């Protein structure tokens, strides 16, 4: 009788442990599913932010190029007006118009000398090449 009682008690404990294991496995699956969903949401947000960053950088580059083009045109106008003010004889309106409509390439060069992680020497050079 005592042996039968012990076996029944152990079977009850075994069933209880199996139920606990099944419950913990279900909880684990739920946690994994929530984690996967959150990761998908975060990856979606990350992709959206990366896309916005690319667009913002491209727009910034377009604006910088537009400003450089304006700067070049203004510099050309300044040269034209200086020529007019200094010596109006050499000025040719056709030449001024042709030079302002020609293709231009802007070449920027930056040279830095770094010592112990600090910039100790810096040169910035901008050249306008006309085509």
pLDDT digits (tens, 9 = 90+) for 24-78: 999 999 999 999 999 999 999 999 999 999 999 999 999 999 999 999 999 988 8
The predicted pLDDT at position 115 comes to: 75
Range of the domain at 88: 2-130
Judge whether 99 and 72 are in contact, CB under 8 Å.
no
pLDDT value for 74:
92
- Mean pLDDT, rounded, for 96-125: 66
Instruction: Tell me the pLDDT tens digit for each residue of 69-96.
Output: 999 999 988 888 887 787 755 555 555 5
For residue 123, what pLDDT band results from cuts at 50, 70 and 90?
A: confident
pLDDT at position 83 is 79
For residue 1, the 8-state DSSP code is: -
* pLDDT recorded at residue 29: 98
pTM over cut 0.85: no
**CB-based contacts of 76-85 (< 8 A; 24+ apart in sequence):** 76/100
| Distances, alpha carbon 11 to alpha carbons 8, 17, 48, 54, in Å | 5, 10, 55, 63
Our count of domains for the chain comes to 1
For residues 106 and 71, is the Cβ–Cβ distance under 8 A? no
As beta bridge partners, residue 124 has: 110
End-to-end CA distance of the chain: 108
Residues 128, 109: contact at Cβ < 8 Å?
A: no
**What is the reported pLDDT for 127?**
65
């Amino acid at each position: 009788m005592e042996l039968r009682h012990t076996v029944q008690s152990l079977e009850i404990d075994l069933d209880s442990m199996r139920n606990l294991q099944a419950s913990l496995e279900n909880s684990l699956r739920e946690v994994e599913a929530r984690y996967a969903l959150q990761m998908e949401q975060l990856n979606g947000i990350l992709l959206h932010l990366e896309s916005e960053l690319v667009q913002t950088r491209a727009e910034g580059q377009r604006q910088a190029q537009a400003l450089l083009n304006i700067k070049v045109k203004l510099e050309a106008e300044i040269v034209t007006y200086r020529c007019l003010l200094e010596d109006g004889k050499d000025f040719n309106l056709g030449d001024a118009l042709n030079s302002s409509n020609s293709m231009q390439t802007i070449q920027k060069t930056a040279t830095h000398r770094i010592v112990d992680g600090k910039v100790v020497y810096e040169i910035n050079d901008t050249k306008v090449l006309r085509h």
